[in-house]
Amino acid sequence: MLPHDLKPEQFNGYPPEARKLVTDYLGTLQRLPLSFLPSLLREVVEYDFEFPAERKALEKELANLRALSTEQVKNWFQEFAQIRISPKLERLDWVNAPGQFVEQLAAHLWTTHQVDAFRKAALDYADRLRGAVPPEPPPVPRLGITVIGKGVAIYDEPLFRKLRPHGACFSRVKPEDGLKLLLDAVAARAKAHPVPYGHWYIDGGQEAEHDPALTCISYQALEPARAALLRKMRAEIGRPGMGPEALRTLLAQMRPADLGLGNAGDTVLDRFQVKLLTEGSGTQIFSTTFAQWTAREALRRAQPLTLLVRFAPRQRQKPMNELLSASEDHAELDSIGSLIDADMGAYYNWLNQQRLPGAEQSSFLVWFESHSEALAIGPSMPRGTESTTVVDLRELLSWMV
């Protein structure tokens, strides 16, 4: 089947809001080449479970495609139209399983030496879309906060080396009640600028007491879901013929109820958490990986105005079979190794924040928990400098934003 053959009833399996959206734009979808359309449908089918920022971006993209004339559609998609699609791919149920189609398309592109042509087509389309639908700046400058080093008593090596050229390093920060001060500041921003999924608190351990105005995800709170997922993975790995691709397909089909989620009534956040555990590599067993991946996905998908990420000690590295085993032994923690992970994770958090609209006005703070070291980046912070001024974290934030 080809796109011009699409009919409304073929989308009856989509969630309600996605089905309405695709029906409204059916004429637009019928004009798109098969090499492109399933990638778009992969986003559409998740519409009911997406964050507001994702919904708005998808709606704007579809509206722009609808506004294109026949000649403009030809110009925008001529490179995609030149991609050769095999009859086998055409026969796939790409309407109801667009993700599987995209995976098989990738393999087809490699075997037919069309990867470079497809990549160029995708980049050209993205450039055109950005020109036609430029991203909106945030209503207030973004603030990112990363807290690292929980449980580390002494560490003599320099921290924040990747971030020092971009901001000011403070060596006499008052650590008393530091985490509470940061959480209070984040909560105050959430109440002053109420935006759905706009203010996040991510904890790689057990979450601290926080205001309910914050969207919160923690490694400890998801322990039952993580355990359920590992049990399912162990059971599937032991089955004859179960390889990595089959396991990946199985994980992609999991829903919140499969992992004991879905009781809080927030279907968007539940689906987000499932994807964190089924798509992330190591998010099920390493708290530092969990915190970093969750921050990355929250920034990419929800585009929050405020994001506080707190890293916690992870278990020591072991062979993968041992990490996936059902051992009841308490995991041995690696606090120093976790600090090193988190130090690099803070840098990645800043980089990912800088990819969002309004990056030139955004601010970022990283603090060595319970210690006197912190680094601040923002329009008002001199780059590549060091300060011995005595300051608490509330004052430091007030200088930044």
Say yes or no to pLDDT of 322 above 70. no
252: confidence class by pLDDT, cuts 50, 70, 90:
confident
Check whether residue 118 and residue 148 sit in a common domain: no
Is there a domain that residue 63 lies in?
Answer: yes
Which domain-ending residue is among 68, 100, 132? 132
Task: Judge contact between 140 and 193, C-beta under 8 A.
Answer: yes
pTM of the model: 0.92
87: confidence class by pLDDT, cuts 50, 70, 90:
very high
Check whether residue 120 and residue 174 sit in a common domain: no
Is there a domain that residue 51 lies in?
Answer: yes
Helical H segments across 25-114, by residue range: 26-29, 37-44, 52-67, 70-81, 87-91, 98-111
**Gap between the Cα atoms of 368 and 376, Å rounded:** 12
248: confidence class by pLDDT, cuts 50, 70, 90:
confident
Say yes or no to pLDDT of 205 above 60. yes
Check whether residue 108 and residue 152 sit in a common domain: no
234: confidence class by pLDDT, cuts 50, 70, 90:
confident
Check whether residue 221 and residue 352 sit in a common domain: yes
325: confidence class by pLDDT, cuts 50, 70, 90:
low
**Gap between the Cα atoms of 69 and 227, Å rounded:** 52
Check whether residue 127 and residue 152 sit in a common domain: no
Say yes or no to pLDDT of 318 above 70. no
**Gap between the Cα atoms of 55 and 281, Å rounded:** 26
- Tokens 């009833």 appear where? 9
Check whether residue 298 and residue 358 sit in a common domain: yes
Print the domain residue range for 109.
Answer: 3-132
pLDDT in the model for residue 265: 77
Check whether residue 181 and residue 37 sit in a common domain: no
Say yes or no to pLDDT of 329 above 90. no
Which structure tokens are listed for 237? 């790995």
Is there a domain that residue 265 lies in?
Answer: yes
pLDDT in the model for residue 331: 72
Please give the backbone phi and psi of residue 125, each rounded to the nearest 5 degrees, phi first: -65, -45
Say yes or no to pLDDT of 326 above 90. no
Q: What is the CB neighbour count within 10 angstroms for residue 375?
A: 26
Is there a domain that residue 138 lies in?
Answer: no
Is there a domain that residue 137 lies in?
Answer: no
How many distinct structural domains can be found in the chain? 2
Q: What mean pLDDT comes out for the span 4-23?
A: 96
Judged by average pLDDT, the poorest of 108-112, 280-284, 297-301 is 280-284
Check whether residue 113 and residue 191 sit in a common domain: no
Say yes or no to pLDDT of 379 above 80. yes
Q: Which of 357, 285, 364 is nearest to 327 (CA)?
A: 285
Please give the backbone phi and psi of residue 169, each rounded to the nearest 5 degrees, phi first: -100, 130
Check whether residue 194 and residue 320 sit in a common domain: yes
Check whether residue 319 and residue 355 sit in a common domain: yes
Distant-in-sequence contacts of 337-340, Cβ < 8 A, 24+ apart: 338/150, 338/151, 338/287, 338/288, 338/311, 338/312, 338/313, 338/314, 339/148, 339/149, 339/152, 339/155, 339/311
Which domain-ending residue is among 132, 152, 178? 132
Is there a domain that residue 147 lies in?
Answer: yes
Which domain-ending residue is among 101, 132, 163? 132
- In the three-class reduction of DSSP (H, G, I as helix; E, B as strand; rest coil), residue 376 is classed as strand
Check whether residue 108 and residue 163 sit in a common domain: no
Say yes or no to pLDDT of 264 above 80. no
Amino acid 262 reads G
Q: What is the pLDDT of residues 143-166, one digit of tens each?
A: 999 999 999 999 999 999 999 999
Which structure tokens are listed for 32? 């798109």
Is there a domain that residue 183 lies in?
Answer: yes
Say yes or no to pLDDT of 304 above 60. yes
Is there a domain that residue 387 lies in?
Answer: yes
Q: In what order do the strands lie in the sheet with 363-368?
A: 215-218, 199-203, 306-310, 143-148, 363-368, 374-377, 168-170, 385-387
Check whether residue 282 and residue 189 sit in a common domain: yes
352: confidence class by pLDDT, cuts 50, 70, 90:
very high
Work out the mean pLDDT of the chain and round it to a whole number.
Answer: 93
